[in-house]
Amino acid sequence: MSTGFATSTRRDAPTSKFLDLRALAALEQKRFTTRQRIEGAYSGRHTSRQLGGAGEFVDYREYSAGEDLRRLDWRVLARTGRTYIKLFQDETNLVCTMLVDASRSMLMGSRSSRDTSGSKLEYAQYLTTALSHIITCGRDQVGLATASAGLQDYHAPASTQTHATLLQQAIENIDTEPESRLDEALEELFQRNSRRGVLLLVSDFLLDDLQALFAKVRLFRHRQWEVVCLHLVHPEEERLPEGAAYRFDGLENDGVVACSPAEIRALYQEQFEKHLNAVRTFAVAAGCDYRLVSTAIPYLTTLSGFLVERAG
């Protein structure tokens, strides 16, 4: 696991097990677009927030004293005798930061304590690895943050392949912790990032205080970040496993409960549905792009749908 904020990697780092290039080949042509104007360091395909001298002409505005005369539209002046400046949409690159929830609850669905196959975490790892690859292929920048009891690891966005490989390794090496304080992680992340971009929040949102979390999310929104919430849900979380009697051990030190799922299924689903609605409500209220993702659906299908949807 990356302990700090690494800035250099080996050039010949091995490929992540979560990177399936053959499967992603079909998705490489797709681009991770944003629904709003972004701010990027380089010219890319994405619509920039800034109205500079290059790019596509979009509109006129009256000239104000002190503005750059080079932007003055002389033809309009000649025709109308009034001073107007041209406004242009510059195309820049995407800066995406993926925040992966590394709390212990993300291990839900693991085959064993040593084998996280089937878990939400593994799903997140596949998803974020694929996204890091696709974003990098689009010459956009992608960064990674992992959060559990605070910001666990952070890799600032970059667009090189080496960086992507580094991220993928970091994703592969995510280690979970029993505590889940995403709000603190978000705050720290916010402090570290002055630039606008896209925050991709991949989590199961099983937190004690959703309000606190989304309060931090709103910080990003206030800075005009686009926040996409990918809410991971395991099928057994939705409907409880089948069987006569279970002893459910809480993954985040939240105790043990023995019961018969059949007896409480209806009541549990009611509670869980309430939780999902709460997350959705908070996310939408915070202006986030919210998406409920079931780990029963192959990640590629989810990813493909996600990219298509965002492409408009």
Q: Which residues contact 45 (CB under 8 A, 6 or more apart)?
A: 31, 33, 91, 93, 138
What are the tokens at 75?
Answer: 């033809």
Amino acid at 206: L
Q: Is 276 an interacting residue with respect to other proteins (CB under 8 A)?
A: no
How many angstroms separate the CA atoms of 272 and 276, rounded?
A: 6
Q: Answer yes or no whether residue 243 interacts with other proteins by CB under 8 A.
A: yes
Residue 175 tokens, joined: 């280690």
92 versus 203: smaller Cβ distance to other proteins: 203
**Nearest-approach distance from CB 268 to other proteins, in angstroms:** 4
Chain-centre distance for alpha carbon 258: 35
Out of 61, 192, 268, 300, point to the residue binding other proteins (CB under 8 A). Answer: 268
Contacts of other proteins in 123-142 (CB under 8 A) = none
Q: Which of 65, 255, 301, 312 binds other proteins (CB under 8 A)?
A: 255
Q: 194 or 271, CB closer to other proteins?
A: 271
Q: Which of residues 184-213 bind other proteins (CB under 8 A)?
A: 204, 206
Q: Applying CB under 8 A, does 250 fall inside the site for other proteins?
A: yes
Residue labelled with tokens 């869980």: 272
User: Nearest 5 degrees, angle CA 176-CA 177-CA 179?
Assistant: 135
- The one-letter amino acid code at 51 reads L
* 146 near other proteins (CB under 8 A): no
Q: Which span sits near other proteins by CB under 8 A: 88-96, 100-108, 155-163, 291-299? A: 100-108
Among 229, 243, 234, smallest CA distance to 290 is for 229
Closest CA to 69 of 88, 53, 58: 53
- With respect to other proteins, which residue has the nearer C-beta, 179 or 270? 270
CA dihedral for 68, 71, 74, 77, sign (positive or negative): negative
**Which one of 27, 94, 100, 107 is in contact with other proteins (CB under 8 A)?**
107
Q: Of these, 8, 117, 194, 271, which contacts other proteins (CB under 8 A)?
A: 271
Q: Comparing C-alpha atoms, which of 294, 179, 278 is closest to residue 232?
A: 294
Interacting residues toward other proteins by CB under 8 A: 105-108, 110, 113, 120, 204, 206, 234, 236-237, 240-241, 243-252, 254-260, 263-264, 267-268, 270-272, 275
